[in-house]
Amino acid sequence: MGLLAPAFLVGLAAIAVPIVVHLFHRHRKDPIRFPSLMFLERIPFRTVRRQTLRNPLLFALRVLALVLLVGAFARPVLTGVGALGSEEGAREIVVLIDRSYSMAHGDRFERAQAEARTVVDGFRSGDAITLVSFDSDAQILERSSTQPARVRATVDTLAAGSAVTRLGPALKVAQSVLDQSPRAGLEVVVVSDFQSGAWSATEDVLLPPGTRVVTRDVAGDATASNVMIATVSVEQSESGNRETAVVSARIVNDGPNEIQRLPVRLSLDGQALETVEVDLGAGDSGDQTAAVRFQPFVLARVDARATVSIRSDDLSVDDAFHMVLTPEAGFSVLVLEPDGARPQQSFFLARALSIGSEPGFDVDVKRTRAFQLSDLDARSVVVLNGTAPPSGAAFDALVQFVENGGGLLVALDERSAWPNGDAAVLGGSFGSPVSRSESRGGALGFIDFGHPAFELFQTTRGGDFTGARFFRYRPFAPDSTADVLARFDDGAVALTETRRGAGRVLVWAGGIDSFWSDFPVQAVYLPFMQSLVRHLSGRSARPTQHVVGELVDVAVLGVGSDERDLIALSPRGGEVRILPDTSGARYLRLAEHGYYEIRSDQAGAVGTPVAVNADRAESNLTGMDPAELVTALTPTGDGAGGAAATTRLDLEERERRQSVWRYLLWVVLALLMLETLISNQMMRSTRVAPVRTGG
């Protein structure tokens, strides 16, 4: 037991007050004037009675309350085994063990486990151990455990992962645990290889004062060797009816020794396609990087698993790079014109699309009258360029085409018409042409740049729509199903979108040739039209690979969102069920490197592979000085050795955590209430009925 403010013990002198009150019955200074002492003189009393305690119980209560009050102000600290369970030397130990993939280098992780076991072996009675494993996230595996055997068993089950190291989240977890700990000794043990990128001084972590920070650096050899595949790129192109891919890779040697004839292999679906040998200089020689370009190969099937690999070294995670390659089919666009169409009515659109590549656009222009149902086969998008839609069964087929996921662009012109009663397909109805030619023409006044069709143009240099002048347009009245994506400067609707089944319908009110506007001769016309068609096709670019730690929307991966139960098989064979969130979207956190496979949980379902690679930043094994971390975490910078921690600070921290004074004040309050109760009871018992008066 210690006292933080022993000077307050002087207050114990106040105990004399109740003693004086009890023993000497302090008399009032002024006498009480009373009519007659006739009866009082008859009462026998002796002054010696005043020297005895009138009520020992009340006296004891008052003295005890005073002593406890003084004790509370003296701010006691329990240092021995006490009523509050605090024990001298009892520690709250938080062990942070790094599980990032750099810890898989050599025997780093085995040494980290050994360090953690050493800490657990130092467990004393009263201690509590919290075990946290961390990479870019931190996970509490054991919280304030008093069972060292259990913690040790948990340490044995740990393994290095695929994510990068970030000390910040782990230290914040430690801060949270220590802040809530009632124990006096606070200790954080960080077991890591302390890569230079793992810690940033801007991290807002400050451990409680008096915390002892112990670092266990398991990096070992400072000149660790590592060769990695730093980056891989793929170029896909069409060659005739086939699509070919060319894979390029960059290999980096981070070790002190040069490497000769290192084989770099490209495999597709597990079969080796090509192996290239490269020479790499030492890590600091300037020629430690080698670029590899493999021969083009034909992409014959979708979701092909392509892997570039080198022979495994001490850090095998970065020795392979995984990708999923799929032939990118071009967009097939059918443009329908009215009979008697203007010359070159679809010229600008066709030219704009024909320039596109990766993938390209295949554009067919036909008269509406010549439309056949077979024209919709393998089409991505149909454009009604200033014409009414085909009638009868052809119209129904067109609607069905949209509902099955096709895109329909309706460019309104003076000849545009639409069957009565089918306005729902458009998402609204249009009126007679409006002329803006009396002025300098209208311009686009509002554009929803948040929409995917305008995503390309969000940046400042993304495209200028303000230069286009529209001299006529068809006023379009959208219904509640249509979203307005753009308006003219007079507020009239310029572009709307309506969902119809799995497809989309876009209505452009201003014509897409040069008859009503100069928009086709603006620079922004070409990318805008390509973007519209791409958006209408419903196909978005699918990444060939992801990085560990990413949260991906499975809809982007091309997995049907209508699948009720989706599961993901992880590269290590684990199974994760992907449940929809409140908005119906399904997300998957990629925690391992390799190939995930997402599929329905139905038997025989075909999976969609997802390639995941480890973040190459973790492959940089350059270390940091753990002392910097200790200095940043403890205000006094005394946490490294622990021995220098000042006793005063420790005592204050203990007192703050124990708050014994708070309990003492509650006891004082209870005692005073009891004293009031007892004295009131005694007062009542001494009263008697007054003498009856009156005639």
Residues that bind other proteins (CB under 8 A): 25-28, 31-43, 45, 47, 49-50, 54, 686-688, 690-695
Identify which of residues 25 and 369 has a Cβ nearer to other proteins in the complex. 25
Cβ at position 185, least distance to other proteins in Å: 54
Cβ at position 32, least distance to other proteins in Å: 5
Question: What's the CA gap between 157 and 126, in Å, rounded?
Answer: 25
In SS3 terms, 57-90 reads as HHHHHHHHHHHHHHHHHCCEECCCCCCCCCCCCC
Q: How many residues does the chain have?
A: 695
Identify which of residues 261 and 692 has a Cβ nearer to other proteins in the complex. 692
3-class state of residue 336 by DSSP: strand
**Amino acid present at 570:** S
Identify which of residues 50 and 369 has a Cβ nearer to other proteins in the complex. 50
3-class state of residue 399 by DSSP: helix
Question: What's the CA gap between 457 and 438, in Å, rounded?
Answer: 30
Question: What's the CA gap between 256 and 280, in Å, rounded?
Answer: 11
> Which backbone phi and psi does 446 adopt, to 5 degrees?
-135, 130
Cβ at position 62, least distance to other proteins in Å: 16
Cβ at position 56, least distance to other proteins in Å: 16
Q: Cα Rg for the chain, rounded, in angstroms?
A: 41
Identify which of residues 23 and 672 has a Cβ nearer to other proteins in the complex. 23
Identify which of residues 50 and 648 has a Cβ nearer to other proteins in the complex. 50
Cβ at position 681, least distance to other proteins in Å: 14
- Residue of 608, 610, 611, 612 whose CA lies nearest to 566: 608
Identify which of residues 22 and 216 has a Cβ nearer to other proteins in the complex. 22
CB 386 within 8 A of CB 345: yes
Question: What's the CA gap between 8 and 5, in Å, rounded?
Answer: 6
Cβ at position 181, least distance to other proteins in Å: 52
DSSP for 248-304 reads: EEEEEE-SSS-EEEEEEEEEETTEEEEEEEEEE--TTSS--EEEEEPPPEE--SSSE
Cβ at position 1, least distance to other proteins in Å: 40
CB 310 within 8 A of CB 229: yes
Cβ at position 655, least distance to other proteins in Å: 41
Cβ at position 52, least distance to other proteins in Å: 11
Identify which of residues 420 and 693 has a Cβ nearer to other proteins in the complex. 693
Q: How far apart are the first and last CA of the chain?
A: 70
Identify which of residues 291 and 682 has a Cβ nearer to other proteins in the complex. 682
Identify which of residues 38 and 222 has a Cβ nearer to other proteins in the complex. 38
